[in-house]
Every structure is written in C-alpha cells, then in structure tokens.
Amino acid sequence: MDHLELISAILHITVMLSSEQCRAARALLNWTQEDLAVRAGVSRSTVRGFERGEHELQRASAAMIRMTLEQAGVILIEADEQGAGARLQSPHRPDQSDAR
C-alpha cells in the first residue's frame, strides 16, 4: 500500500474498530496479537493495550489494523441495537501459515 492509499483510507474511515471486533476478527483468522501487529505495521503493545481497553487507537493505527483485517477477509459489521460484529467473507480457507 502506498502513502496515497493510506492517507485516503485514514481520511475515509467512517466506522471505528472496537476492541471486541478486533479480538473477534483475530480469532476468525486464527491470528495472535503478534500476527496482527506485524501484518498491520503496529506494535504488539498497541494491539494488546487496545484489546484490553487500556487505550484507544490513534487514527492511523486504527486504519492500518482495520485494512489489514479486511484484506485478510474479515467483514466488520457496524454496531446496531444488537452490537457490532465481525465475520469472514465466504469462502475463506486459511492457509497453513495462518494456523497456530
């Protein structure tokens, strides 16, 4: 992803990522916090602290994490009266390198 795509994504992100969605998306992909951090280009402590509710993500980090999850096949569902969610695009078959 080049800088223009990243800037565009940051400016156009309309739905924020919740810590619950982040954990659920990682579980769907069978990724560790480290896996997500490396793929998204953020620190593991950023992912860990966000998922624990210790801090909010900076906008750039939220955009990178969200894009990484979506590019891996996760659909993030906006919150409604039943809450927010995450699901995998169908069909999704994680390769052996995704399995832990």
> Splitting the chain (100 residues) into consecutive groups of 10 residues, what average pLDDT does each group show?
66 70 96 98 97 92 93 89 85 56
pLDDT cut 90: percent of the chain above it: 56
In the prediction, which pLDDT does 3 show? 72
Tally of domains within the chain: 1
Contact assessment for residue 75 and residue 82, using Cβ atoms and an 8 Å cutoff: no
Q: pTM of the full predicted structure?
A: 0.74
Residue range of the domain that includes 34: 3-98
Residue 52's Cβ-count burial label (10 Å; 0-12, 13-18, 19+) is: exposed
In the prediction, which pLDDT does 55 show? 92
Q: What CATH code is carried by the domain that includes residue 76?
A: 1.10.260.40
In the prediction, which pLDDT does 15 show? 47
